[in-house]
């Protein structure tokens, strides 16, 4: 079906990964879930993902730093930012740092799937690996 | 930086806004009053928003819950502050109530369980929503299942956690148990010896006299004068920590318990909470001793001819579309404990549940039903005959699948068929089935591609899940009893009358509706997948057509896709079992129910507020009252300019002029006549309020002739004013803010009416009513329909209906104010008269008919 793209999901609230992973896997994506930014960063040093979904405000390193790392290491990755502290400022900063889409928590599962679909279209057929 | 002392004084002054003898200017009071209304609306919106998250379509985290709780508490607290400001700190105890609620909410957010209910005993039928903490999951689930169509549960009652704690306290056992458990955990004693010491202590205790009486009288109530032939099962209903019946088998349960042993059995079940197995289990789960709590469930024994177990899926091969039944004569324990020969049946999961295979065991013995003492093995009758005929097997499969739809996972169900062939549900628990994992999902995807999609992403998901069945198109006035069980109910509007069909439906689809409406609430309560606001479901779907509703992906497929239904059952976790979801449910218990409903009752006090919604309601009521009192007291009338309106309407209305709302000649008077009112929006509203039919209490004929006849017959003066209350209108030349309490309803109208369309608006808010949610929502549905038909933008959340228009011409705004006036009088009778769902349509026609007649009358006047 040609949609075996890889997704990296980082959110320090486990519920987000718990509920999103089966949804995205059902759509045929390969999903890796992280709840702390350190291990997500470590993973991104090892490999790139087609799509990165990340929270912005988390304990330890924040999502913005992770976003920067992804932009630097994997310029081809499409980044979708999800955050509970959705202000215009954070949104602007995320976009400036190269986020592709921005979704405020709490969100409908449909919204994320829609954003992922759009990101996939943008990627075309190519994969970043 | 040194503090400015003046600033500090200002702060103190803010804390103590009112000093005795000081007259607060009316404008200030009114400003606070408006601020209360606004804050209450904000709070209700947050509450509605949280409620909508119960549908499973949203992903939310603890941060969201924390933020919501803090926001809503903050807004309500601020509203309470305003109330105290305008009432000279008359309601300081509201702060205490809010403080307690906040503490409870914060405790929940911190992950600890707060048990609210204090009663020792609940009959199964009295167990309310969200009471699982008090009565245990087993009893709670049974009480929910008993409400599903076609499910019979033996009568029973639960001794709650309050009863359990009472027992420990009465026998001074708290400390003792804690010490023994600590000793066991620290290795100072073996687990076995700690367990034994605890159990002995519990068995040696006395049941507190109150509880003793309550158990016996509840049991007597069930046995209805025949205690000699009445036996009970006594079991643990202990709390599971993950929404599952995870303690199954860990605690003791007793069957055939005669009346005289009801009390001793209670102690025995309690003692099993501290068996070595149970202690080990709890230590493994790191449950603290004080969190141990044991609700105990008593249920009357079924006089069973046969009984057994049904699995909704074959756990060995879940892809087979079959239910698996085992059965034996007499009591079911032989099947449950896997002793002796039994019958096994395979039945198709698809209606009409054809019997596919049966293997009849040689059932040499059975456990005799209805005998005192532990079940006794006796020789079975008809040893080689089947226990079930194909019809009974089908009935059983139907029951099993009804429960499976509710829990959305494969189940292991204990059942019993009594001597009169009536089928009883005894227990249901999750059935462990191996999931196929992702390979299945890819396979499924390929398969789904072959199915025709009838509706794709058309509406909003109100409750997630997957279901299939024949389409039943229903219209208002249809006999919902005729809707076949398991049907996919499709309707134009998410009207409250549909709620009746939900417990039997497999899914609900509507063209119009919202996720915060009453229908969505009921769908969530019964866990029926629902999609609302689909636009044209009633056009696309044909009656009787078999469809599969995917209320996860927002799709409706043609045909029944077993694989998709199956896949849902095998998925790892249903969203209902996630921690966040459960936490949300717990939090909402302190937030959203309205228990304080009757403002005329002596119980309508701050201390009786049990939820934030109660506080909101209380503050609103008292704020209106305070405003009215300001106007009512004679000395206030003079000092602040309030004037009572003299009229024949059963409304005690006080007017306060904020500029140009009353004729100049009323200066210094304490009463005014309607002729002296010059406020444009007030005049328009008054025209509606005084319209002859508006205060009718008689059923009004809908045909034109009868309508005209009644027009001439009815006069407002004839009508009774008993059900009206305190009312206040703040008027200006173009401004009106009116708060009415008519019956139990609160109405607020806020409007500006002048020649410039840009400034014109009407805000109408209607809330409250009797406790009965069905009637309340019928009324909300009717009001919404009328208001929408009359071009208002309507939002309805719970029992609040808010309607707005703005930027309309002077003429149109005026017309709508007249309509609102009529509607307010009209709504007064609704709670009483809206006895059934058909009334919604009837009253809609009636009101709109009158409206047309009125317009006809007006235009003929104009000629």
ipTM of model: 0.86
Q: Are B136 and B295 in contact (CB under 8 A)?
A: yes
Provide the pLDDT for residue B176: 87
Give the three-class secondary structure for A86. Answer: coil
- Whether residue B61 lies within 8 A of chain A, CB to CB, comes out as yes
Residue B193 to residues B197, B198, B287, Cα–Cα distance (Å):
6, 9, 20
DSSP-assigned letters across all residues of B267-293 = HHHHHHTTSHHHHHHHHHTT--GGG--
List of chain B residues whose C-beta atoms are within 8 Å of the C-beta of residue A13 = 61-63
Where is pLDDT greater, at B631 or B506?
B506
Q: Is the pLDDT of residue B713 over 80?
A: no
Helix, strand, coil percent content, chain A, rounded in steps of 5:
45, 20, 35
In chain B, whose CA is at the least distance from the CA of A106?
A: B60
Residue B399 has pLDDT above 90, yes or no: yes
Check if A112 contacts B (Cβ < 8 Å).
yes
User: Are B62 and A110 within 8 A, CB to CB?
Assistant: no
Residue B8 has pLDDT above 50, yes or no: no
Characterize B261-276 residue by residue with b for buried, 16 or more Cβ atoms within 10 angstroms of its Cβ, and e for exposed.
Answer: bbeebbbbbbbbbbbb
CB B565 within 8 A of CB B466: yes
CA distance A5 to A53: 13
- From A90's Cα to the closest Cα of chain B, the distance in A is 17
In this structure, what are the phi and psi dihedrals at residue B429, rounded to the nearest 5 degrees? Answer: -145, 165
**Higher-confidence position of B564 and B494:** B564
Q: What is the extent of the structural domain holding A12? A: 6-123
User: Who's near B861: CB < 8 A, 6+ residues apart?
Assistant: none
**What CA–CA distances, in Å, run from B362 to B357, B652, B852?**
17, 81, 76
Residue A128 located in a structural domain: no
Say yes or no to pLDDT of B427 above 80.
Answer: yes
Mean pLDDT lowest for which of A10-14, A72-76, B342-346, B741-745?
B741-745
pLDDT at B400 over 90: yes
Output the pTM of the full model: 0.61
- Asked if residue B454 has pLDDT above 90, the reply is yes
A16 assigned to some structural domain:
yes
**What is the tally of structural domains in chain A?**
1
Query: How much is the pLDDT for B42?
Result: 87
Give one word for B648, left, alpha or beta, with left for phi > 0 and alpha for psi -120 to 50: alpha
Q: What Å distances lie between residue A81 and A19, B99, B235, CA to CA?
A: 17, 37, 50
Looking at A69-83, B87-101, B472-486, which range is the least confident one? Answer: B472-486
Q: What is the pLDDT of residue B318?
A: 72
Given a cut of 80, whether residue A123 has pLDDT beyond it is yes
Query: CB distance A106–B58 less than 8 Å?
Result: yes
Indicate yes or no: CB of B578 within 8 angstroms of CB of A11: no
Q: Could you tell me where the beta strands, DSSP code E, fall in B314-457?
A: 322-329, 343-348, 355-359, 365-367, 377-379, 411-418, 423-430, 453-456
**A46-63 confidence digits (pLDDT tens):** 999 999 999 887 766 677
Contact B321, B304 (CB under 8 A): no
The H helix count followed by the E strand count for chain A is 5, 6
Q: At B468, phi and psi to the nearest 5? A: -140, 155
With respect to residue A48, please indicate whether it lies within any of the assigned structural domains: yes
Higher pLDDT, B670 or B588: B588
pLDDT tens digits, residue range B359-379? 887 776 777 766 656 667 777
A1 part of a folded domain: no
What's the pLDDT tens digit per position in B458-486?
888 888 888 999 999 988 777 777 788 88
| Percentage above 90 pLDDT, chain B | 24
| Nearest-angstrom CA–CA distance, A59 and B396 | 52
Q: What is the mean pLDDT of residues B141-154?
A: 88
The whole-number pLDDT of residue B834 equals: 66
**Contact state of A112 with B59 under an 8 Å Cβ cutoff:** yes
Q: Which of B518-522, B534-538, B817-821 has the lowest mean pLDDT?
A: B518-522
pLDDT of residue B863: 34
pLDDT for B811 equals: 92
Q: What is the pLDDT of residue B15?
A: 44
Mean pLDDT to the nearest integer, A108-126: 85
Least confident of B220-234, B412-426, B691-705: B691-705
So what's the pLDDT on residue A74? Answer: 92
Burial class (CB in 10 A: 0-12, 13-18, 19+), B110: exposed
- Using the Cβ of B809 and the Cβ atoms of chain A, whether some distance falls under 8 Å is answered with no
Interface residue A106 vs chain B (CB under 8 A): yes
CB-based contact B679:B663 (threshold 8 Å) = no
In the predicted model, is pLDDT for residue B26 greater than 80? no
Element (H, E) at B394: helix B390-407
Q: Is A84 helix (H, G, I), strand (E, B) or coil?
A: coil
Residues B242 and B582 sit within 8 Å (Cβ to Cβ): no
pLDDT band of B723, cuts 50, 70, 90: very low
Find, among B478, B519, B514, the residue nearest to B502 by Cα: B519
pLDDT single digits (tens) B745-788: 778 898 889 888 877 889 898 876 554 566 667 778 888 888 98
Across the range B141-150, mean pLDDT stands at 86
Does the pLDDT of residue B569 top 80, yes or no? Answer: no
In 3-state terms, what secondary structure has residue B302? coil
Higher pLDDT, B162 or B363: B162
The answer to whether the CB of B745 falls within 8 A of the CB of B827 is yes
Report the range of poorest mean pLDDT among B213-227, B426-440, B781-795.
B426-440
What is the pLDDT at residue B486? 85
Helix axes B93-109, B62-86, angle to 10 degrees: 180
Nearest C-alpha neighbor of B301 from the set B269, B351, B337, B255:
B255
pLDDT over 90 at B546, yes or no: yes
Minimum mean pLDDT range among B252-266, B503-517, B653-667, B824-838: B824-838
User: Looking at chain B, which residue has its C-alpha nearest residue A105?
Assistant: B60
Q: Report the pLDDT averaged over residues A20-39.
A: 88
What does the block give as tokens for A51? 């799509």
Q: What are phi and psi of B345, to 5 degrees?
A: -130, 145
B671-688 confidence digits (pLDDT tens): 899 999 999 999 999 999
Predicted confidence (pLDDT) at residue B724 exceeds the cutoff of 60: no
**Residue B215 pLDDT more than 90?**
yes
In this structure, are residues B203 and B268 in contact, taking their beta carbons and an 8 Å threshold?
Answer: yes
Which chain B residues contact residue A17 at CB under 8 A? none
Higher pLDDT, B647 or B471: B471
- What pLDDT is stored for residue B117 in this prediction? 62
Q: Is B64 on the interface with A (CB under 8 A)?
A: yes
CB-based contact (8 Å) between A36 and chain B?
A: no
For the residues B696-724, what does the mean pLDDT come to?
35
pLDDT at B280 over 80: no
So what's the pLDDT on residue B542? 94
Domain annotation covers residue A129? no
Q: Which of A17, A57, A106 to mutate to test the interface with B (most CBs of B within 10 A)?
A: A106
Q: Tell if the CB–CB gap between B63 and A13 is shorter than 8 Å.
A: yes
pLDDT band at A84 (very low <50, low <70, confident <90, very high): confident
Q: A15, B578: Cβ pair inside 8 Å?
A: yes
Burial profile B61-93: b = 16 or more Cβ within 10 angstroms, e = fewer: bbbbbbbbbeebbebbbebbbbbbbbbeeebee
- pLDDT at residue B243 in the model: 40
The per-residue pLDDT for range B685-702, each reduced to its tens digit, is: 999 988 876 655 444 333
| Residue B67 touches partner A, C-beta closer than 8 Å | yes
Nearest residue in A to B571, CA atom: A22
Decide if pLDDT at B156 tops 90: yes
What pLDDT sits at residue B750?
87
Q: What number of CA atoms fall less than 13 Å from residue B343's CA on the CB side?
A: 27
Q: What is the mean pLDDT of chain B?
A: 79
Chain B nearest CA to A75, separation (Å): 28
Strands B411-418 and B156-159 turn out to be unpaired
Helix count (H) and strand count (E) of chain B?
27, 31
CA angle B552, B556, B558 (to 5 degrees): 140
Count how many Cα atoms sit within 13 Å of the Cα of residue B395 in the half-sphere of its side chain.
16
Chain A: residue nearest B574 by CA?
A19
CB atoms within 10 A of CB B33: 25
Q: Cβ–Cβ of B572/A22 closer than 8 Å? A: yes
Q: How many CB atoms lie within 10 A of CB B384?
A: 12
How close does chain B come to A36, measured CA to CA in Å? 15
B813: tokens are: 């705004």
Q: Which residues of A touch B445 (CB under 8 A)?
A: 1, 26, 28
Q: Above 90 in pLDDT, residue B520?
A: no
Identify the CA nearest to B160 among candidates B137, B179, B183, B176: B137
Choice between B821 and B381, residue whose per-residue pLDDT is larger: B821
In this model, does residue B340 exceed pLDDT 80? Answer: no
Radius of gyration of chain B (CA): 31
> Whole-angstrom Cα distance, residue B775 to residue B745?
13
> Which residue carries 């300081």 as its tokens?
B92
The C-alpha angle with vertex B728 and arms to B615 and B78, in degrees rounded to 5, equals 30
In this structure, are residues B660 and B732 in contact, taking their beta carbons and an 8 Å threshold? yes
Q: Going along B419-545, which residue ranges are E strands? A: 423-430, 453-456, 460-463, 466-473, 488-493, 507-512, 530-532
Residues of A in contact with B578 (CB under 8 A): 15, 18-19
Give the model confidence (pLDDT) of B797-839 as tens digits: 666 788 988 888 999 999 999 999 988 888 776 665 666 667 7
The answer to the question of residue A39 being in a domain is yes
Rounded Cα gap, residues B572 and B218, in angstroms: 40
Buried b / exposed e over B737-772, threshold 16 CB at 10 Å, is bbbbbbbbbbbbbbbbbeeeeeebbbbbbbbbbbee
- Closest chain B residue to A104 measured between Cα atoms? B60
CATH code where residue A62 lies: 3.40.50.2300
Cβ distance of A105 and B457 shorter than 8 Å: no
Please give, rounded to a whole number of angstroms, the shortest distance from the CA of B574 to a CA of chain A: 9
Q: Which H helix or E strand runs over B648? A: none
Q: What is the mean pLDDT of residues B227-232?
A: 82
Chain A residue numbers with beta carbons less than 8 Å from the beta carbon of B46 are none
pLDDT score at B703: 36
What are the two backbone dihedrals, phi and then psi, of residue A52, each rounded to the nearest 5 degrees? -120, 125
Q: Measured between beta carbons, which residues in chain B are less than 8 angstroms from residue A15?
A: 59-62, 578-580
Residue B834 near residue B778 (C-beta atoms within 8 A): yes
Q: What is the pLDDT of residue B595?
A: 83
């Amino acid at each position: 079906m040609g949609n075996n793209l890889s997704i990296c999901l980082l959110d320090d609230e486990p519920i987000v990964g718990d509920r999103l992973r089966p949804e995205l896997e059902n759509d045929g994506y390969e999903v890796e879930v992280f709840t702390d930014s350190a291990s997500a960063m470590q993973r991104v040093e090892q490999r790139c993902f087609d799509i990165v979904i990340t929270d912005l405000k988390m304990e330890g390193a924040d999502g913005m730093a992770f976003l920067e790392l992804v932009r630097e290491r994997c310029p081809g990755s499409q980044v979708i930012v999800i955050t509970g502290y959705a202000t215009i400022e954070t949104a602007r900063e995320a976009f400036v740092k190269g986020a592709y889409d921005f979704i405020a928590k709490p969100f409908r599962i449909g919204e994320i799937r829609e954003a992922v679909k759009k990101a996939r279209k943008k990627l075309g057929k190519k994969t970043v690996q | 930086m040194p503090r400015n002392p003046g600033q500090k004084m200002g702060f103190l002054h803010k804390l103590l806004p009112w000093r005795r003898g000081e007259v607060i200017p009316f404008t200030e009071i009114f400003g606070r009053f408006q601020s209360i209304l606004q804050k209450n609306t904000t709070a209700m919106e947050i509450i509605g928003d949280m409620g909508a998250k119960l549908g499973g379509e949203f992903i939310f985290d603890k941060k969201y819950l924390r933020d919501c709780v803090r926001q809503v508490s903050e807004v309500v607290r601020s509203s309470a502050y305003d109330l105290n400001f305008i009432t000279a700190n008359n309601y300081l105890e509201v702060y205490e109530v809010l403080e307690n609620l906040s503490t409870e909410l914060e405790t929940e957010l911190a992950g600890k369980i707060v048990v609210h209910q204090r009663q020792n005993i609940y009959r199964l039928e009295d167990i309310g929503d969200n009471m699982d903490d008090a009565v245990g999951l087993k009893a709670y689930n049974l009480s929910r299942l008993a409400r599903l169509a076609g499910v019979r549960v033996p009568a029973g009652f639960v001794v709650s956690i309050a009863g359990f704690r009472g027992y420990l306290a009465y026998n001074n056992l708290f400390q003792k148990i804690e010490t023994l458990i600590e000793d066991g955990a620290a290795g100072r004693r073996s687990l076995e010896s700690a367990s034994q010491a605890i159990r002995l202590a519990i068995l040696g205790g006395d049941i507190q006299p109150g509880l003793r009486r309550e158990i016996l009288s509840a049991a007597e109530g069930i046995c209805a004068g025949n205690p000699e032939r009445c036996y009970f099962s006594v079991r643990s209903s202990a709390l599971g920590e993950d929404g599952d019946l995870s303690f199954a088998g860990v605690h003791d349960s007793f069957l055939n318990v005669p009346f005289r042993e009801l009390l001793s059995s209670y102690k025995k079940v309690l003692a099993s909470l501290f068996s070595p197995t149970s202690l080990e289990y709890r230590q493994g789960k790191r449950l603290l001793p004080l969190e141990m709590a044991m609700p105990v469930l008593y249920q009357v024994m079924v006089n069973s001819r046969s009984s057994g177990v049904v699995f909704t899926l074959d756990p060995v091969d879940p892809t087979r579309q079959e239910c698996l039944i085992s059965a034996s004569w007499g009591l079911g324990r032989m099947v449950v404990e896997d002793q002796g020969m039994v019958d096994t049946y395979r039945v198709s999961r698809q209606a009409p549940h054809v019997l596919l295979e049966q293997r009849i065991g040689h059932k040499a013995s059975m456990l005799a039903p209805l005998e005192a003492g532990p079940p006794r093995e006796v020789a079975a009758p008809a040893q080689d005959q089947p226990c079930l005929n194909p019809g009974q097997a089908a009935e059983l499969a139907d029951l099993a699948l009804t429960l499976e739809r509710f829990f959305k996972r494969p189940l292991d169900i204990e059942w019993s068929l009594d001597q009169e062939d009536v089928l009883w549900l005894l227990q249901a628990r999750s059935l462990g089935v191996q999931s196929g994992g992702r390979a299945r999902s890819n396979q499924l995807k390929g398969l789904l591609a072959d199915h025709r999609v009838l509706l794709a992403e058309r509406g909003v998901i109100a409750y997630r899940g997957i279901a299939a069945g024949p389409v039943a198109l229903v219209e208002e006035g249809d006999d919902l009893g005729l809707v076949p069980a398991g049907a996919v109910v499709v309707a134009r509007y998410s009207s409250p009358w549909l709620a009746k069909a939900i417990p039997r439906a497999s899914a609900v689809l509507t063209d119009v509706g919202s996720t915060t409406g009453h229908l969505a609430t009921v769908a969530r309560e019964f866990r029926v997948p629902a999609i609302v606001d689909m636009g044209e479901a009633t056009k696309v779907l044909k009656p009787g057509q078999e469809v599969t509703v995917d209320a996860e992906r927002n799709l409706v497929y043609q045909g029944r896709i077993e694989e998709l239904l199956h896949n849902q059952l095998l998925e790892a976790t249903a969203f209902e079992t996630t921690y966040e979801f459960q936490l949300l449910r717990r939090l909402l218990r302190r937030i959203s129910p309205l228990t304080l409903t009757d403002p005329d009752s002596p119980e309508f006090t701050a201390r009786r507020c049990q939820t934030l919604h109660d506080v909101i309601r209380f503050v609103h009521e008292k704020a209106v009252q305070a405003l009215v009192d300001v106007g009512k007291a004679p000395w206030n009338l003079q000092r602040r300019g309030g004037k009572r309106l003299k009229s024949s309407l059963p409304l005690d209305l006080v007017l306060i002029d904020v500029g140009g709302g009353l004729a100049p000649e009323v200066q210094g008077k304490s009463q005014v006549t309607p002729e002296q009112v010059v406020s444009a929006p007030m005049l328009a509203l008054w025209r509606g309020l005084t319209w002859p039919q508006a205060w009718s209490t008689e059923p009004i004929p809908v045909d034109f002739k009868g309508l005209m006849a009644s027009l001439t017959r009815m006069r407002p003066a004839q009508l009774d004013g008993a059900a009206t209350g305190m009312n206040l209108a703040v008027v200006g030349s173009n401004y009106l803010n009116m708060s009415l309490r008519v019956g139990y309803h609160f109405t607020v109208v806020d409007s500006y009416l002048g020649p410039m369309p840009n400034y014109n608006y009407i805000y109408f808010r209607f809330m409250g009513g009797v406790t009965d949610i069905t009637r309340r929502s019928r009324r909300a549905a009717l009001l919404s329909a009328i208001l929408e038909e009359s071009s208002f933008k309507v939002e309805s959340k719970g029992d609040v209906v808010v309607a707005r228009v703005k930027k309309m011409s002077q003429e149109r705004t005026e017309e709508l104010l007249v309509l609102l006036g009529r509607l307010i009088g009209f709504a007064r009778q609704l709670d009483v008269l809206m006895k059934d769902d058909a009334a919604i349509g009837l009253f809609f026609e009636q009101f709109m008919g009158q409206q047309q007649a009125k317009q006809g009358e007006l235009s003929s006047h104009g000629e």
